[in-house]
Amino acid sequence: MNSLAAAGITDPRLRASYARARDLHAAHGRTYYLATLLLPAWKRPHVHALYGFARYADDLVDDLGAQLGNAERAAALRTWGERFLTALRAGAPAHAVDAGPGQAAGSGSGSGSGSGDVSVLPATIHTIQRFALDPDHFAAFLTSMAMDLTVTGYATWEDLVGYMYGSAAVIGLQMVPLLEPVDDSALPYARDLGIAFQLANFIRDVGEDLRRGRVYLPAESLELFGVTRERLAAGVVDGPVRRLLAFEISRARELFRCAEPGIRLLHPTSRDCMRTAFVLYRAILDEVERADYRVLDQRVSVAMRRRLAVAGPALVRAHRARRHDPGGDHDPGGGHGLDGGHGLGSRGAGGGRVQSSSRPPR
């Protein structure tokens, strides 16, 4: 079944915006996109919308155009973000929102589908309204994206966690209502999982980030193992660098361990999606070790055969869970208010509405 139809999304402008977000997700978030296929069809467009929003903002920071300086990138991000937040807080109909003049300056990493002139903002605002998501989470995300243009490193783990609250923890919090938790006890686990996912990416991308002038490992960790930024830039993976990366891998695995119980707090039709994402993102750490920590001049990845080996059985379980779910692949809201109206909230596993408004520490 077409996921937009399953979600009751019929407005042509909204459908185009959701398609744009889906294309960005498929092109740039392959592991996460694969996991999303395990969700009921009506939930998938909303996950694509959240990913598309985050990806587009990230591209404004990193891929807007090599000829532009940080000041121009910051101005583009600020203009785009302010337009989004103003429309969101004013309760504007989602289908009427566009990205404004900043859209044309947007992501050079588009989907390749020829949809680069279509904004992801209508789909994002529509999803926020549908699930009554907390606008502050999106504001925090934009704040962390702006930090990437002025901050090149973090002195302590606590400093890095402060950044990751906006860049990753809030992504987990945004997702919680879509995944239909039992109650708000799922929120701390979602925060930990968002940070775990991001730390795994930081470890994998040390070399790539360094070439952009940033280090997302705490300076106190580098100092502990006698590693300098210059040593990392030299691209030589020696004993101290291996010990540094092994230390951060152990920290990431502890975050994954702390987050894992939260999967059981989700609706049965959401668990296989998150379990698959959990296993595959955690497997990044295994691949770094398998590559003998050589992440300074290459990007390691989880092989497709491994992804399919995890996702294949999960797809069977997810299909079985949907067969036993009265809502099935259709939005339980029946499409009410989905083409521009305001939110219905998210149904918890027990039928209650779950808010995701608590604030901690991407």
318 and 253 in one domain?
A: yes
184 and 102 in one domain?
A: no
Q: What Cα–Cα distance (Å) separates residue 72 from each residue in 65, 84, 283, 345?
A: 10, 18, 37, 37
Cα-Cα-Cα-Cα dihedral sign, residues 45, 332, 259, 319: negative
Q: Are 170 and 137 in contact (CB under 8 A)?
A: yes
pLDDT at site 327:
55
What total number of domains does the chain contain? 2
129 found inside a domain? yes
pLDDT at site 66:
62
Per this entry, what is the length of the chain? Answer: 362
pLDDT at site 203:
98
CA 118 to chain CA mean position, Å:
20
50 and 114 in one domain?
A: yes
pLDDT at site 145:
97
287 and 194 in one domain?
A: yes
pLDDT at site 331:
67
Q: Are 330 and 6 in contact (CB under 8 A)?
A: yes
254 and 193 in one domain?
A: yes
Give CA angle at 55 (251, 40), nearest 5°.
85
331 found inside a domain? no
Rounded Cα distance, 322 and 81, in Å: 37
pLDDT at site 100:
57
Question: What predicted TM-score, i.e. pTM, was given to this entire model?
Answer: 0.84
106 and 17 in one domain?
A: yes
Helix (H) or strand (E) holding 109: none
193 and 110 in one domain?
A: no
145 and 166 in one domain?
A: no
pLDDT at site 361:
31
Could you say which of 112, 127, 150 is where a domain stops? Answer: 150
Name the residue range of residue 76's domain: 9-150
> Helix H segments across the chain?
3-6, 12-28, 30-36, 44-62, 70-89, 121-131, 135-147, 157-164, 170-179, 187-204, 206-211, 219-224, 229-233, 239-259, 268-290, 304-323
pLDDT at site 322:
59
Q: Are 36 and 270 in contact (CB under 8 A)?
A: no
Rounded Cα distance, 197 and 31, in Å: 11
144 and 219 in one domain?
A: no
| Residue in this structure with the two tokens 């050589």, named with its chain if needed | 294
106 and 157 in one domain?
A: no
71 found inside a domain? yes
CATH number at residue 310: 1.10.600.10
69 and 171 in one domain?
A: no
The per-residue DSSP string of 280-336 comes to: HHHHHHHHHHHTTT--SS------HHHHHHHHHHHHHHHHHHHHT-TTTTS-TTTTT
338 found inside a domain? no
pLDDT at site 65:
60
356 found inside a domain? no
Would you give per-residue pLDDT tens digits along the chain (362 residues)? 589 999 999 999 999 999 999 999 999 988 888 899 999 999 999 999 999 999 999 999 987 566 788 899 999 999 999 999 999 999 988 877 875 544 433 444 433 334 557 899 999 999 999 999 999 999 999 999 999 999 999 999 999 999 999 999 999 999 999 999 999 999 999 999 999 999 999 999 999 999 999 999 999 999 999 999 999 999 999 999 999 999 999 999 999 999 999 999 999 999 999 999 999 999 999 999 999 999 999 999 998 888 888 877 767 666 666 545 545 555 666 443 444 333 333 333 333 333 333 323 33
